[in-house]
Structure 1
Amino acid sequence: MKWIAMIGVLIIVCLGLAAIYGSYRWQSNTENLRAKLRNGRRTIKPQIYEQKEIEGLPDPVQRFFRTVLKDGQAIVTAVKLSQQGQFNMNENKAKWSPFTATQLVVTQRPGFNWDARIQMVPGVNAFVHDTYLLGEGSLHASLLGLFTVVKMHGAPENNQGELLRYFAEATWYPTALLPSQGMRWDAINDTSARATLTDGATTVSLVFQFNAEGAIATCRAEARYRDKLTAMPWVGRFWEYSVCNGMLIPLEGEVGWEYPEGTRLYFKGRTTEIHYEFAS
């Protein structure tokens, strides 16, 4: 019995050491990715938002900018945020797992790194990097930071999907949606408009629906690639707006795939902390 107990303790110690090593190695990879994001940044001009920039845009887009920005707002260059929420990794049924994440975003050249811990079972996390870096998208999921379960990088489908994510999340850094920052807006109706963004060889479009106050309520892509073969409508919804550094941003959101029978959500999250860097 003593030997069995000793073996059990040894196994627990080895698993603990493996988890510590996996976390350390993963964190090093996160730091490397984020260093590349920062090193790839470009100079942003103009450095200040002026309301005359939005003259001539579709009416709901003008209302949006007047709602979320004030004249003289400094242009966002980078964002560091923390999130918590639930993630559904099962395609066939609702099987939600809690997650925590941090994310770094740079706005020129557009890019981000999302570093998440998704609880698979108590004490066992999937480590996830979702990244758009210098025109290339990638997804890397690893058990305990040691055992890769998903790794996709650099295919046109990955690039499109990750640039769409950056685009949709610009609700957190709304100066990135300005025409001066590379956005093109086209009218649809009194409450929605289509925006188009090009980065390198990748061009993506989203339809934004605005709420009664003028802020973004939803966004929708006609087709986002889930893998190399499957592209589906992709939707996001945002709410609980709050003023942060002079900008009106949402604190909560959810994202899902749009099936003929309805939307299947896979992300429900809340921004718990956010810090900005501005052009100067």
Structure 2
Amino acid sequence: MTHNSMNTPTPLPELIEKWLSHSRVENKPTPSKVLLQQKGRMKTSPKGKWMKFTANQEYRVKEPAFLWEAKVELFPFVHLSGRDELKNGRGEMLIKLLSFIAVVHEKDNYEVNTGTLLRYLGEICWFPQAAREPYLRWETIGEKSARAYFTQGDLTVEGLFSFSSEGRLLSFEAMRYYGGEKPAKLREWYIEILEEKDFEGSRLPSHCRVTWKLPEGDFDWLELQVTKVQHEY
């Protein structure tokens, strides 16, 4: 994807430049790989119980990809293992009981592919330098928000990033297919940044809450703490 006939990058909106500055990455190159360690709790349904989890995630930035592998405590001595993957613009989700009984396995359909792309887009908060990459296009919305368009192959997804006046990222929201209904319906998917910390000299999110905005009310399904961020160049 080119931005103009000279194939030179379009300047980033001032709001995004302010975000890079606030994050202390404005003078850092774009990493080739990013590794995260995470812990937190999640629900599988609005009325379900909270379950603790730990996870490792690896991102590729120049050619967008990620692999998220989690272990979820279902009951004492009973766990689920989850894997969410983006590769070559296509998504795959696999959940296993006791690490070997497949409970959910979905891949390479429109709902999963777009959902996985939206997840990657929302998670560039851990490597904001990706905002400069040619697969993203930005549009300023008002004084404190910017809409990003993320293209991979024949698919384009979009989401809204909102910031404080100082350039701190506050939230990301997008319309995403909610898997709790058949057929799946588009629902608002909302990520709120609750805290940020210093990781390798960069100021990045350390505590997030993810919510589905459903007709019957908000479904807070994930609370996430990031314990380690490692960038490789």
Normalized against structure 1, the TM-score is what?
A: 0.75
1:243 Cα offset (Å): 2.7
User: 1: CA distance between counterparts of 2:118 and 2:154?
Assistant: 14
* Equivalent residue number for residue 33 of structure 2: 78
Is the 2:92–2:108 Cα contact (8 Å) retained in structure 1?
yes
1:260 Cα offset (Å): 3.4
* Equivalent residue number for residue 221 of structure 2: 266
> Which residue, out of 100, 120, 125, partners 2:74?
120
Amino acid at match of 1:174: P
* Equivalent residue number for residue 152 of structure 1: 106
* Equivalent residue number for residue 89 of structure 2: 135
> Which residue, out of 236, 246, 256, partners 2:211?
256
* Equivalent residue number for residue 191 of structure 1: 144
Is the 2:71–2:81 Cα contact (8 Å) retained in structure 1?
yes
Quickly say closer, same or farther: Cα 1:225–1:160, change in 2 above 3 A.
farther
* Equivalent residue number for residue 234 of structure 1: 189
Task: Map 1:166-245 to 2 at 5 A.
Answer: 166-178=120-132, 180-226=133-179, 229-245=184-200
Amino acid at match of 1:119: E
Look up the SS of the partner of 2:32 in the other structure: strand
Is the 2:25–2:129 Cα contact (8 Å) retained in structure 1?
no
Look up the SS of the partner of 2:129 in the other structure: helix
1:181 Cα offset (Å): 4.0
Is the 1:54–1:62 Cα contact (8 Å) retained in structure 2?
no
More strand by share: 2
> Which residue, out of 57, 61, 65, partners 2:16?
61
Q: CA offsets, 1:56-95, max 9 Å, x none?
A: 5433223212212344312111111111100111x23151
- Structure 1 vs Structure 2: percent identity of aligned residues? 29
Look up the SS of the partner of 1:93 in the other structure: coil
Q: 5+ residue gaps in structure 1?
A: 1-52
Amino acid at match of 1:185: W
Q: CA offsets, 1:13-71, max 9 Å, x none?
A: xxxxxxxxxxxxxxxxxxxxxxxxxxxxxxxxxxxxxxxx9985433223212212344
1:261 Cα offset (Å): 4.8
Task: Map 1:7-26 to 2 at 5 A.
Answer: none
1:222 Cα offset (Å): 2.6
1:263 Cα offset (Å): 2.3
User: 2: CA distance between counterparts of 1:207 and 1:268?
Assistant: 20
Is the 1:157–1:228 Cα contact (8 Å) retained in structure 2?
no
How many residue pairs get aligned? The number is 224
Look up the SS of the partner of 1:76 in the other structure: coil
RMSD in angstroms over aligned alpha carbons?
Answer: 2.0
Amino acid at match of 2:56: T
Normalized against structure 2, the TM-score is what?
A: 0.89
User: 2: CA distance between counterparts of 1:223 and 1:92?
Assistant: 17
- Superposed structure 1 runs of 4+ greater than 6 Å apart: none
Q: CA offsets, 1:181-233, max 9 Å, x none?
A: 42111011111110111011221111011023312100100334537532211
Task: Map 1:80-95 to 2 at 5 A.
Answer: 80-89=35-44, 91-95=45-49
Is the 1:59–1:190 Cα contact (8 Å) retained in structure 2?
no
- 2:54 is equivalent to residue 100 of structure 1: yes
**Structure of higher RCO (CA pairs closer than 8 Å, 6+ residues apart):** 2
Is the 1:73–1:246 Cα contact (8 Å) retained in structure 2?
no
User: 1: CA distance between counterparts of 2:201 and 2:192?
Assistant: 22
More helix by share: 1
1:273 Cα offset (Å): 1.4
The structure with more radius of gyration: 1
1:134 Cα offset (Å): 1.4
